[in-house]
Amino acid sequence: MSTPSRPRATKIICTIGPATDTSDMLGQLIEAGANVFRLNMSHSKHDWVREVVFRIRRKAAELQANVAILFDLQGPSIRTGDLAEPYHLKKGDTLEIRLSTAKPELPFSTTVNYDGLLQDVQAGHTMVVDNGGILMRIEEVRPDRLICKVLTEGVFGSRRHINLPGVALRLPALTEKDLADLAVAVECETDYVAMSFVRDAAHIAQLREHIDTLGGRAQIVAKIEDQQAIRHIDDIILAADVIMVARGDLGIEVSIEELPIIQRRIIRHCHRLGRRCIVATHMLESMITQPTPTRAEVTDVSNAIFEQVDAVMLSGETSVGNYPVRCVEVLDSIAHRMERSGNLNFAASAILSGDRQKATKAAISLADSVENACMVVFTRRGLAATQAAVLRPERAAIFAFSNDPVVVRQLALARDVTAFESPFLKNPARMISTALDLLKEKGLIISGQPVVIQGDSLQGELLADSIIFMRAE
């Protein structure tokens, strides 16, 4: 019996920007394999966001594709002030960073947007400016300014981003801009909200409370970007719905040689604690301007897929790059190949704390043990399908059915899950046959193929956590 090939398990997230915000480009990205569209609120106007969300939903419906939307909040970044002209700094120069109320005293002088900075730092701390473009050391902390020595030469412009590796900052969890952007996200019925610079589980709770108050249903992606987050990683994983290894800021905040180790550790903890995981930043950076990735980039992407992450994310590659569709095609090709090449099997260490999780594990074991079998999961809230995804079936694809369109879209970010909206019927046998007919119609299964059916929404004479083995008729 020749069964259909297993769908790609790893999901692809595309950041939308000037290069990809038209209906035609959105359609091309979907057809190339995009599963989630990210809107970076650091650079997005509200009217533009509303229009792009409308285009995404319309194009997805037109193509009968299941696509989720992720709003990525800017978060509480530290930035310098405006300059009339950029400074050309040389090693050994002195620059002052002062409060906005203080007057300049040195030739090289700028302000900062975070008044608490002077209380958080001390002499000897290293300051990383503009994502590693310039390194400085704080020489002196005065009541209204910092005196910094330039360690590496570079051009220092306006509104430069500042990182302070290893320094515990008392920045707010959410800024006024974040709250305004969150209101628009809920208005647009976004599926996910990404929280930048999460430092502990309380930040996740704060965001969730705001979403609930606004009447939203978005799930939360916690971006791991500094050493404070790493210290609280297990608590953050348990508080969030999805974890993002955001390697841009994280790669600045930690020693660069530690970054691959930290990435793998976070992914392993996500598997153990039953949460989804995204790897982001610089996946195919060279393809912003070149049609072919570097060998190092291919290896980097392959390692993330070998670690069995739920998704890999494109940023500038698809927002402003010259080859956005080609980038998705490259990720799709790498993923298909690597998923046939084994994995690190981190899911073997998953903690099964409840009966429902154990039932899902049993269903996966059954599906993996039968040649050519697949799993069909019926789920009201997405929990059963997500649990199946994080336990990482080795051979069986997961097809999920829910009567809630929000749940269906959110499952677009679950590894190995292909989700469909379908009404839940009082007759379980009819509900199952309807689902299997749909899968056959779409060429995802064939008659006679083994199917393991499991769910939290089977009704009638079937128990909620029942497992059924049958062959598609």
Cβ atoms < 10 Å from Cβ of 447: 10
Say if CB 375 and CB 364 are below 8 A apart: yes
Residue 345 domain-assigned? no
Res 456: pLDDT: 60
For the chain, the farthest-separated pair of C-alpha atoms sits apart, in whole angstroms, at 82
Say if CB 279 and CB 309 are below 8 A apart: yes
Same domain, 201 and 250: yes
Same domain, 222 and 208: yes
Same domain, 190 and 63: yes
Same domain, 153 and 291: no
- Helices and strands (H and E) in the chain: how many: 16, 22
State the CATH number of the domain containing residue 141: 2.40.33.10
Domain ends where: 338, 373, 402?
Answer: 338
Res 459: pLDDT: 53
Catalytic-role residue among 3, 22, 79, 361: 79
Q: Return the exposure string of 252-270: e unless at least 16 CB atoms fall within 10 Å of the residue's CB, then b.
A: bbbeeeebeebbbebbbbb
Q: What angle do CA 388, 392, 394 make, to 5 degrees?
A: 120
Identity at 353, one-letter amino acid code: S
Same domain, 230 and 247: yes
Residues contacting 67, CB < 8 A, separation 6+: 30, 34, 35, 36, 37, 56, 60, 409, 412
Residue 4 domain-assigned? no
Exposed/middle/buried for residue 224 (C-beta within 10 Å: 0-12, 13-18, 19+): buried
Say if CB 287 and CB 323 are below 8 A apart: yes
Res 463: pLDDT: 46
Domain count, the chain: 3
Same domain, 238 and 318: yes
Residue 19 domain-assigned? yes
Catalytic-role residue among 6, 8, 38, 199: 38
Any catalytic annotation for residue 223? yes
What angle do the packed helices 383-390 and 355-369 form, to 10 degrees?
60
Same domain, 271 and 381: no
pLDDT, one tens digit per residue, over 74-104 is 999 899 999 999 999 999 999 999 999 999 9
State the CATH number of the domain containing residue 447: 3.40.1380.20
Catalytic-role residue among 281, 318, 360, 418: 281
State the CATH number of the domain containing residue 299: 3.20.20.60
Catalytic-role residue among 98, 145, 160, 223: 223
Res 59: pLDDT: 98
Q: What is the DSSP letter of 311?
A: E
Distance CA 422, CA 405 (A): 9
pLDDT, one tens digit per residue, over 363-398 is 999 999 999 999 999 999 999 999 999 999 999 999
Any idea which residue has 């360690």 for tokens?
151
Same domain, 119 and 60: no
Say if CB 74 and CB 176 are below 8 A apart: no
Any catalytic annotation for residue 281? yes
Residue 288 domain-assigned? yes
Residues contacting 275, CB < 8 A, separation 6+: 237, 238, 240, 241, 242, 243, 390
Say if CB 408 and CB 420 are below 8 A apart: yes
Any catalytic annotation for residue 272? no
Res 455: pLDDT: 77
Between the CA of residue 137 and those of 121, 163, 203, 371, what are the distances in Å?
11, 12, 30, 61
Domain ends where: 111, 134, 163?
Answer: 163
Sites in the chain below the pLDDT cut of 70: 1, 456-464
Cβ atoms < 10 Å from Cβ of 145: 22
Residue 158 domain-assigned? yes
Res 355: pLDDT: 87
Nearest of 39, 325, 299 to residue 191 by alpha carbon: 39
Res 129: pLDDT: 96
Any catalytic annotation for residue 360? no
Residue 216 domain-assigned? yes
Domain of 280, in residue numbers: 11-75+173-338
Same domain, 264 and 373: no
Res 460: pLDDT: 53
- DSSP for 6-31, please give it: PPP-SEEEEE-STTT-SHHHHHHHHH
Same domain, 287 and 364: no
Domain ends where: 131, 163, 195?
Answer: 163
Res 293: pLDDT: 98
Same domain, 237 and 357: no
Residue 454 domain-assigned? yes
- DSSP for 70-106, please give it: EEE-----EEB---SS-EEE-TT-EEEEE-TTSPP-S
Same domain, 206 and 324: yes
Residues contacting 186, CB < 8 A, separation 6+: 211, 214, 215, 216, 218
pLDDT, one tens digit per residue, over 294-337 is 999 999 999 999 999 999 999 999 999 999 999 999 999 999 99
Residue 346 domain-assigned? no
Nearest of 414, 419, 370, 359 to residue 392 by alpha carbon: 414
